[in-house]
Amino acid sequence: MTEETTQVQRIQMRVPPFWPNDPELWFAQIENQFQLSGITTDGTKYSYVAGSLEARFASEVRDILTAPPTENKYETIKTELIRRLSITQEQKTKQLLELEELGDRKPSQFLRHLQQLAGAAVPETLLRSIWSNRLPTNVRAILATQADTNLTKVADLADAIMSTTNPPLGPSVNTLDDTIKNLVDQVAQLKSELRGRPTNREKGKTRTRSSSRNKTYDTCWYHYKFGDNAKKCKPPCIKANSQGNE
């Protein structure tokens, strides 16, 4: 390969920005560029990768950049970037996934949600563990016997268990809320009715006052009080005709 040809290849070669979330895919892309540009030498590949890394990613492979191996430079930096950054991303994704809860979703729906969050950064074994630990205890106990079963099939089994052993929470909660509200309304209505209704004591007083008002007497107060010994009399009084008023 002549120096002029190498210079043309360097001009034609375009390195895409490094993808820390998926370094393995980034290397697949850059290797396609190497192939299109006819770049095959180990040192040239290494230089392209080393020169394309931002400082924060270069610090992850500082030991390799400051003291590169004499052979297999490209494979060394590729392997270590994927390994080191994948571990970091896996830890970050694991932390994100551990904040997720099942909620009102079916286990299979929850699994698909976690898979979408995890992408390719989290191994299926770890994802299975995170997912199953979010399920109810009775479901986990049954699924513990399905360690060798495909995860998708295990999720379908979890759906069946949940539908059989755990009735949907939504309607029960709503029904309970409605029942409590109705009871509160009934109590409030009873209180309102009782406020406007006289008590038995008040009824007795009312009847006494009514009877007192409606009762009529044949004699005046003096004859009612002193009988025939009354010295005074006020009409109308039946004693008025038989006894003179004083």
Q: What is the model's pLDDT at position 172? A: 45
Q: State the chain's maximal CA–CA distance in angstroms.
A: 160
pLDDT beyond 50 at 43: yes
pLDDT beyond 90 at 12: no
Q: What is the model's pLDDT at position 224? A: 76
Q: What is the model's pLDDT at position 127? A: 85
Average pLDDT over residues 149-158: 90
- Confidence class for position 126, pLDDT limits 50, 70, 90: confident
Average pLDDT over residues 212-240: 70
**H-assigned helices in the chain:** 3-12, 23-37, 42-52, 55-58, 62-66, 73-97, 107-118, 124-132, 137-143, 151-165, 169-195, 200-214, 221-226
CA angle centred on 46, ends 42 and 49, rounded to 5°: 145
Instruction: Report the distance separating Cα 10 and Cα 183, nearest Å.
Output: 81
Residues 6+ apart with CB under 8 A from 231: 222, 246
pLDDT beyond 80 at 153: yes
Q: For a pLDDT cut of 70, what percent of the chain falls above it?
A: 72
Q: What is the model's pLDDT at position 74? A: 94
7 phi/psi in degrees, rounded to 5: -65, -40
pLDDT beyond 90 at 96: no
Q: What is the model's pLDDT at position 23? A: 86
The lowest-confidence range among 85-99, 122-136, 162-176, 220-234 is 162-176
Q: What is the model's pLDDT at position 41? A: 92
pLDDT beyond 80 at 112: yes
Q: What is the model's pLDDT at position 206? A: 54
Q: What is the model's pLDDT at position 69? A: 92
Which pTM does this prediction carry?
0.38
Which candidate, 44, 51, 53, 52, places its Cα nearest to that of 7? 44
pLDDT beyond 90 at 63: yes
Q: What is the model's pLDDT at position 64? A: 94
